[in-house]
Each structure stands twice: as C-alpha cells, then as structure tokens.
Amino acid sequence: MLWRRCKEQLNRSEKELEELKKYTADLERIVSDKTRALEEAHMALQVLNIKLEVQKTHAEESKLRAKAANAAKSEFLSSMSHELRTPLNAIIGFSEILQDRYFGDLNERQADYIKDIWESGKHLLALINDVLDISKVEAGKMELDLSQVNISVLLLGSAAMIREKVVKHNITMRIAVSDDLETLTIAADEIKIKQVMFNLLSNAAKFTPDEGEISIKATKQDSIIRVTVADTGIGISPMELESIFDPFYQVSGGIKDKTPGTGLGLALSRRFIEMHGGQLWAESKGTGAGSTFIFTLSLRQITD
Ligand SMILES: Nc1ncnc2c1ncn2[C@@H]1O[C@H](COP(=O)(O)OP(=O)(O)OP(=O)(O)O)[C@@H](O)[C@H]1O
Ligand SMILES: [Mg+2]
C-alpha cells in the first residue's frame, strides 16, 4: 500500500518535473525571442540615428551654402549698384545741365527727350538705391542713424513732399496729430522714417483716383506711437494684404496712367519700421474700398 502510494507520488513528481522543464524551455524561447526582437529594434534605431545624422549634415551643408550664396548675392548687388550709379549720375547731371540751357537753347523735341532721359535716369537711380537698401538690410548691414525726431514735424514735412501731386489730382489731404505728440521727440532714424512716409503717401496718391482723399493720423497710447495713412483709393483684396510687402510684388490691374513703380517701397518700409522695433501692416475692406496703412513706433524700445 505504502509502496503504491510512494510510486504514485514519484510518478506525479516526475510529471511535474517534466512540465517544469517544458515550462522553462518555453520561457527561455520567449526570452530569446524577445532579446532578438530587442536587438533588431536597437539595430533599426542605430540605422535611423545614422540616417538622421547624415540628413543633419546635409541640412547644415545646405544652410552654409545658402548663407554663402546670400552673401555673394548681397556682395554682387552692392558692387553692381555702385558700378551703375556712377554712369547714371553722369546721365542725370548732364541732362540737368542741358535742361538748364547753359550751353544753348533747345527746341521742343530736344527738350522733351532730355526730360525723358532725366526722368528715366532718376527712376533708375531710385530703383538701384532701393535694391541696394534691401540687400543691405537682408545682409544685416543696414544701421539706424538715430537722432531726436519730432514725429509731428516729420509728418508735416512728408505731406509737403507729395502736395504738388495731390493738388494736381484734386485729392484732399488731411493731417491730424494728437496734442501729446506736438512737442514729443523720439530717438529714430529720421531719413528712414521719412522714406517710409514718402512711400506710403506716394502709394496713397498713386492708387487714389482724382477727387479722392488721403488722411494722415498720429496718436500715442502709453509708449506706442501709431501712424495711419488712409486713402479712398482702389483698395486691396484680403488675399493680397500680406503679399504686397514682398519685394517686387505689385497687384495687377492698378491705375495705369500714374507712374508705375517697382514694388520695393513697402518691402523696404516694413524692414525700416521693424528695425525701429515697430510694425507696419495694411488694412482694407477690399477692392474699391480704400486702403489704410498703419505703423507703430515704440517709445521705450527706440529710446533704450
Ligand atoms: N494705397 C494703396 N492702395 C492700393 N494698393 C496699394 C497701395 N499701396 C500699395 N499698393 C499695392 O501694393 C503694391 C506694392 O507697393 P510698393 O510701394 O511696394 O510698390 P510700388 O509703389 O508699386 O513701387 P515702388 O514703391 O517700388 O516705386 C503696389 O504696386 C500696389 O499694387
Ligand atoms: Mg510704392
């Protein structure tokens, strides 16, 4: 009896041992499978890492190449502009002398042609100066020449620059400067802010039909001066409110009989305002609904 029970027990233990062995073998297989999977994942990660490194190197190379190309472009534009300005100054200067009739009278046709030469020369010079300015700003070589500027006086002076054109086209011009700006001066680059105003006003005059209206407004809120140039002209579609600030961008189908431009004025103006720590943007209710250009100048940032 005892012997039978012992044998049974022994049989059970042997079976259990068998199962345990099988279980251990299964476990080992699972562990080995998982280890292999882990090793494969690790390898895949390493390959990915290498690929990423290669891509990073490519990206750095392209960045360096783009930087070098950009520097070469700026260098090229800068030297080309200087080369072009010398003969242009001769063209403009000599056509001025001829127009003044120092060396004798001109018949009507000659006077007409000389006027054309002079105007084209001036236009080309302005274009070259703008291209040079843009490339300077982009190369980070443009600097501000700061002095204490009275914005109210500057606005009146800018308005005077386009008065003749405005009168010729029967456009009404209004200026409203808030009282707290009358005596206030801020540190700014007078020539650049004037250039911005001249461009905004000549655009307003260019894109506003005869009998229209241009209004200039300046206000101060806390430490921010806000200048607005609004017109009752052809307006700008919502889709183009940002693109007009891209270099050379011009809306097709503008006013044909007024002097065409190059599309650099707004790009340059925005950069000049940003250099002062301000912002310049456009608003319009759409084509035909007039346009408003607004720029801000921060008192605190500029005087710092
Ligand atoms: N006041 C405005 N009303 C309607 N459209 C405008 C106005 N100002 C600018 N635009 C549009 O934005 C474009 C870009 O203006 P921007 O001043 O940069 O160039 P431009 O006046 O054409 O040439 P440039 O200023 O170089 O002589 C203009 O060609 C015009 O299509
Ligand atoms: Mg312009």
pLDDT per residue as tens digits for the range 124-163: 998 888 888 888 888 888 899 999 999 999 999 999 999 9
- Name the residue at shortest CA distance from atom 7 of ligand 1: 203
| Ion ligand 2, residue ranges at CB < 5 A | 199, 203, 261, 265
Q: How distant is the alpha carbon of residue 184 from its chain centre? A: 29
Q: Tens of pLDDT along 233-292?
A: 999 999 999 999 999 899 887 665 555 788 999 999 999 999 999 999 999 998 889 999
CATH dotted code for 147-303: 3.30.565.10
Within 6 Å (CB) of ligand 1, which residues are found? 130, 199, 203-204, 207, 231, 233-234, 236, 244, 249-251, 254, 261-267, 291
* pLDDT above 50 for 68: yes
* pLDDT above 90 for 204: yes
Instruction: Say how many Å lie between the CA of residue 221 and the centre of ligand 1.
Output: 28
Instruction: Say how many Å lie between the CA of residue 183 and the centre of ligand 2.
Output: 30
Tally of CA atoms within 13 A in the half-sphere of 137 that contains its CB: 19
- Please report which confidence band the pLDDT of residue 304 belongs to, taking 50, 70 and 90 as the band edges: very low
pLDDT over 70, % of the chain: 96
Instruction: Say how many Å lie between the CA of residue 180 and the centre of ligand 1.
Output: 31
Instruction: Say how many Å lie between the CA of residue 72 and the centre of ligand 2.
Output: 27
pLDDT in the model for residue 67: 85
pLDDT in the model for residue 244: 95
Residue 203 and residue 132: Cα distance in Å, rounded?
21
* pLDDT above 70 for 302: no
Atom of ligand 1 nearest to the CA of 250: 29
- Please report which confidence band the pLDDT of residue 30 belongs to, taking 50, 70 and 90 as the band edges: very high
Across all residues in the chain, what is the average pLDDT? 91
More confident residue, 226 or 82: 226
Structural domain boundaries in the chain = 1-142, 147-303
Atom of ligand 1 nearest to the CA of 254: 31
- Name the residue at shortest CA distance from atom 28 of ligand 1: 250
* Nearest ligand to the CA atom of 236: 1
pTM of the predicted protein model: 0.74
